Amino acid sequence: MRVTVLAGGVGAARFLDGLVRVLPPERVTVVGNVADDLDLLGLHVSPDLDTVLYTLAGVVEPERGWGRAGDTAHALGVVSQLGGPAWFYLSDRDLGLHLARSERLRAGEPLSAITLSLCTAFGVQVRLLPATDDRVRTVVSTPAGELDFQTYFVRRRHRDEVLAVRYEGATTAQPAPGVLDALAAADVVIVAPSNPFLSVDPILAVSGVRDAIAARSGPTVAVSPIVGGRAVKGPADRLLRTLAGESSPRAVAAHYDGLITHMLIDEADRELLPAIRALGLRAAAAPTLMPDAAARTRVAQAALELAGS
């Protein structure tokens, strides 16, 4: 069985950590969000790709779910001492990766080729593809004005109300090599438990991606990032309330209308199964929180079982 997963950051990485315990990793292709990438200190940082990479390589900081475990931040300390931007936490080993990637980007190599070779270097066997090699950036509209994604998310700690979201560059961006084929050839496509507006939509916005998923005849399963009305991590619940009128797995299912055929929701939301099925989807409830490897494996198993139903 071949599976292609649309992935944001921490939630997706934890789900993938379970999936590779259920399926051989070489059967899994990940299409990762690059619209929250940023240029900082002259370096190109791809937080969501790195979160997936570090998690699958077993070197991620386990509590936060992003960045490297057990690392120092001496370089950033010096940046701060010298009055440079230190609001985005870059640890020393993480910086090493950004240096190597940025150098190769400057030499003209596409992000997709660099990412594949980083995966090989870290011993990661899933095929990790950026949604696009072109520049796409999430811009959020707030009462304080338009903010670039990481200014909104990290610098201002996602405290601003989000009135609208746009994905600069998406309509002209081309899918990275392999993305459309991986969607067409997959037996199952899974939308990871990621923020619909900030992680998944910027992937779907890349030209041709949404159509490639809608054109599939096989199952496309979404795993809800909302449990009991609340986001497991980050501001997805607030965005859903503002932009979709309600924070619930039903609202997530409705948001993916026309794209998904199946929806996995948390046990805590079981009473919403009839409402989700009324949208024309097959749906199941299972525990979806993923604190450890056993829980992640069970969630991945539940998603694949649902896809086969």
For the sheet with 28-32, list strands across it: 127-130, 28-32, 3-7, 188-191, 220-223, 262-266, 282-286
Residues 227-256 that bind ligand FO1 (CB under 6 A): none
Locate 33 and state its tokens. 């969000």
Residues 84-143 that bind ligand FO1 (CB under 6 A): 88-90, 94
* Helix, strand, coil percentages for the chain (3-state, nearest 5): 40, 20, 40
Cβ atoms of 145 and 160 within 8 Å: the answer is no
Q: How many CB atoms lie within 10 A of CB 290?
A: 24
User: Smaller CB distance to ligand FO1: residue 76 or 179?
Assistant: 76
User: Smaller CB distance to ligand FO1: residue 94 or 133?
Assistant: 94
User: Smaller CB distance to ligand FO1: residue 154 or 273?
Assistant: 154
Number of shown-chain residues binding ligand FO1 (CB under 6 A): 18
Give the CA distances from residue 136 to residues 81, 133, 140, 200, 205, in Å, rounded to whole numbers and listed in that order: 32, 9, 13, 13, 9
Among 5, 29, 36, 165, contact with ligand FO1 (rule: CB under 6 A): 36
Min CB(184)–ligand FO1 separation in Å = 26
Among 5, 8, 193, 269, contact with ligand FO1 (rule: CB under 6 A): 8
User: Smaller CB distance to ligand FO1: residue 203 or 272?
Assistant: 203
Site string for ligand FO1, 55-74 (x = CB under 6 A): -----------xx-------
Which residues neighbour 79 within 8 Å (Cβ) at sequence distance 6 or greater? 41, 85, 86
Residue 14 DSSP SS3: helix
User: Smaller CB distance to ligand FO1: residue 188 or 191?
Assistant: 191
Residues that bind ligand FO1 (CB under 6 A): 8-9, 36, 45, 47-48, 50-51, 66-67, 88-90, 94, 150, 153-154, 199
